A and B are shown apart, each in its own frame.
Chain A
Amino acid sequence: MLSLKEKDRPIVRKLLCAGCCVRCVLRFCCVGTCSAYRRSYEDIHKELLAFISEESSPQPHDASGEEKTDEPPNKRLRIDEGSTEASVTAAQTDSDICPVCLGVLQDFCDPTFAKQVSDAVKNQQYEFNSLVLTVSLPAQLSVREHSCWLHVKKEIREKSMCLGKEDVIQVKDAFKWAVQGKIGQELGAAVLANSSCEVSVGFMHPETEEDCHFLANTCPDCFKPTKNKASIFTRMAVVKALEKISEEKFSRHYPCPPKKTNTRCTALDTTCLHTSVFIAGRYNKFSRELPQTPWVIDGERRMDGSVEELIAAPLLSSFRADGFNFSSSGREDVDVRTLGNGRPFAVELLNPHRAKFNRTEIKQLQETINQSSDKIRVRDLQIVTREATSRMKEGEEEKTKTYSALIWTQKAIDSTDLEFLANIKDLKIAQKTPLRVLHRRPLAVRPRLIHSMSSIYLDGHHFTLKLCTQAGTYIKEFVHGDFGRTKPNLCDLMKTNADILELDVESVDIDWPPAIPD
């Protein structure tokens, strides 16, 4: 039963006369119960007709059909309104498309459309147990809504009542209330206000696209020019303009109530989007011929494979994701190995069609990655939240990293020449942006700390240098000096030309992500 009041009767009559569909009538009567919109069109229509054919009376009553017998006011009302049942039904048959919702709350609220939407979702094969339904409507619907509201307002003002625009139920809400039950049932999932899976239904109406255009002349400052060919009549801009424009000005430019149309809205394809899933872990790199990210110059691959592709490939396929973003706590050059516990990384999987994995399954994925190549190894693989990934980049300058480097010296050395290195603690160095990265990094001077060093003598011109440094230190440049742009450097300390032959990262001292015991 619709809970319509006495005061709603003139509104119902006026809207039916203008050709509004029954659900739009309910909206303007501020009917806020979801079930009302789920009822069939015929059902609602029948009850509305019954409601307006009742005699009006001084006492408010609901539309259950109680008859009153105060004739004179009735007759007067009917004659004044000119809205008899006959004229109401006539308005419906000319073009039966609602001039306010352009059909969105008519045929599209039928179970057949809900099934169509559900089938489209099923085809895309997502796994989910809840979803949120979003609806996008053409911008001109706001204009027609505004026009209809002004039309109704005029009527009820004469009866000294008031109807706030916020009290009117929005088309979007009415639509969702009408269809979400059926969609939820078809998909076996709860339709909620918030969910990681979003089903988007959209409508367009090319016939009335120009309905909004007059607003650009009346409220030009609401419409910002767009860079690409996109329309300036965005939903937000139109809504803003409608808030600003005076009632009188609006009525001059646009008919109230809105004119009927020949066509109804067409539905766009139903799209689904799942929020990203984040997988974190730590990786080792055992190859000196593997870049961290794909190395492409002028469209050509310079080197096969990359750390990120080796890690992401099995994840992309198991999670059935559309793409990924890889990030890590720093990175190493192609020719540098990452040993020890490895470097923390996080992979954002975009629009995963499957998002729920238990610990065993993740372990299995880790195994798959490790079996796929001997160039890398992954540990502590786990699903994490988006917020947790910020731990990786946090305090980047405070963290430390340890390295092992194979050094060549121009002058001949013996083991005593290396002893002084172990006594150096917290050496301050200043590094200008290395020339080898200067093409893609800003020119700057970076102060850094070499916390400690130790050495292992190998022969007259070679030794292994172990260093513990502040994060962000360029090790190669510390060794060879980079044209004197890193100072002091190992050449200065050892008073000889020196160069670095091999470099390994021994540890990245960050305690994230949490270790997962084997």
Chain B
Amino acid sequence: MINEIDWFGVNADVDLKGKSCEDHCILQHSNRICVITLAESHPILQNGRKIKNINYQISDGCSRLKNKVSGKSKRGGQFLTEFAPLCRITCTDEQEYTIFSCIRGRLLEVNEDILNKPDLLLEKPSTEGYIAVILPKFEESKSVTEGLLTREQYEEVLTKRNQQEEPC
């Protein structure tokens, strides 16, 4: 709704783990909840790539699909740090990408719709193709986005890249 009461602020984390252009977009609601999505500059969204597989099983003992929260305080949700992997996406050209949490917080849900319809991720990466919903700790509500880029800073990064003509 277009008003000041509910809003999603846009933040970005670029070149995750030093990998060029692997940018994520973190939308934070005024109630502190964060939605992790691919940024429009992420390689998966470039050059007409198609997705072969999305895997939420990030290790032998851990699948993000098994994440179960209960009650108002969301007990049971896996606690993530900035570099916790959310999922691994394999494209049809065999390129593999890991999507990361980017922020500290409790994992509330991962998007299961993209498992059945990976095109959602390609067509609507900022809405229906979201990756995960994370709830930061109350005390960290504001600090959790401090290390991230604002929309303006992100745009500057993109501009610089275009000038240097880095392939993604």
Seen from chain A, the residues whose Cβ lies within 8 Å of a Cβ on chain B are 333-335, 408, 432, 435-443, 476, 480-481, 483-484, 499-501
Complex: A438 Cα to B109 Cα, angstroms: 11
CB-based closest 6 A-B pairs: A484-B128, A439-B31, A436-B6, A443-B69, A483-B130, A483-B127
Chain B nearest CB, measured from A366 CB (Å) = 30
What are the residues of chain B within 8 A of A333 when measuring CB–CB? Answer: 5
Flag B2-29 by CB within 8 Å of A: 1 or 0 each. 1101100000000000000000000001
Complex: A443 Cα to B106 Cα, angstroms: 13
Question: Are A435 and B1 CB-contacts (below 8 A) given A443-B69, A481-B127?
Answer: no
CB–CB A476/B1 < 8 A: yes
Complex: A442 Cα to B33 Cα, angstroms: 13
Chain A nearest CB, measured from B6 CB (Å) = 5
What are the residues of chain A within 8 A of B32 when measuring CB–CB? Answer: 439
CB–CB A501/B127 < 8 A: no
Which positions 26-47 of chain B face chain A at CB distance < 8 Å?
A: 29, 31-33, 35
Chain A nearest CB, measured from B29 CB (Å) = 6
Seen from chain B, the residues whose Cβ lies within 8 Å of a Cβ on chain A are 1-3, 5-6, 29, 31-33, 35, 69-72, 74, 108-109, 111, 113, 120, 124, 127-128, 130, 133, 135
Q: A481-B128, A484-B130 are in contact. List 7 more A-B contacts (CB 8 A).
A: A438-B33, A440-B72, A476-B1, A480-B1, A481-B127, A483-B127, A484-B113
What are the residues of chain A within 8 A of B120 when measuring CB–CB? Answer: 484
Q: Is the interface of B mostly helix, strand, loop or mixed?
A: loop
Chain A nearest CB, measured from B152 CB (Å) = 24
Question: Are A436 and B108 CB-contacts (below 8 A) given A499-B1, A500-B1?
Answer: no
What are the residues of chain A within 8 A of B74 when measuring CB–CB? Answer: 442-443
- B135 interface neighbour in A334, A439, A480, A484, Cβ under 8 Å: A439
| A and B contact pairs by CB, cutoff 8 A, 9 listed | A334-B5, A335-B3, A335-B5, A435-B29, A438-B31, A439-B33, A442-B69, A443-B109, A484-B124
CB–CB B133/A438 < 8 A: yes
CB–CB A483/B35 < 8 A: yes
What are the residues of chain A within 8 A of B135 when measuring CB–CB? Answer: 438-439
What are the residues of chain A within 8 A of B71 when measuring CB–CB? Answer: 442
> By CB atoms of chain B within 10 A, which of A437, A481, A483 has the most?
A483
Complex: A435 Cα to B72 Cα, angstroms: 13
Chain B's closest residue to A288 (CB) is B3
What are the residues of chain A within 8 A of B113 when measuring CB–CB? Answer: 484
Question: Are A435 and B127 CB-contacts (below 8 A) given A443-B108, A476-B1?
Answer: no
What are the residues of chain A within 8 A of B33 when measuring CB–CB? Answer: 435, 438-439
Complex: A284 Cα to B135 Cα, angstroms: 35
CB–CB A501/B2 < 8 A: yes
Complex: A432 Cα to B1 Cα, angstroms: 18
What are the residues of chain A within 8 A of B35 when measuring CB–CB? Answer: 435, 483
- B128 interface neighbour in A442, A483, A501, Cβ under 8 Å: A483
Chain B nearest CB, measured from A306 CB (Å) = 15
Chain A nearest CB, measured from B10 CB (Å) = 14
Chain A's closest residue to B127 (CB) is A483
> By CB atoms of chain A within 10 A, which of B1, B33, B111 has the most?
B1
CB–CB A436/B31 < 8 A: yes
Chain A's closest residue to B108 (CB) is A443
> By CB atoms of chain A within 10 A, which of B32, B69, B111, B127 has the most?
B127
Chain A nearest CB, measured from B132 CB (Å) = 11
Complex: A367 Cα to B88 Cα, angstroms: 64
Complex: A439 Cα to B138 Cα, angstroms: 10
Chain B nearest CB, measured from A504 CB (Å) = 13
- A484 interface neighbour in B1, B70, B127, Cβ under 8 Å: B127
Chain A's closest residue to B4 (CB) is A335
What are the residues of chain A within 8 A of B128 when measuring CB–CB? Answer: 481, 483-484
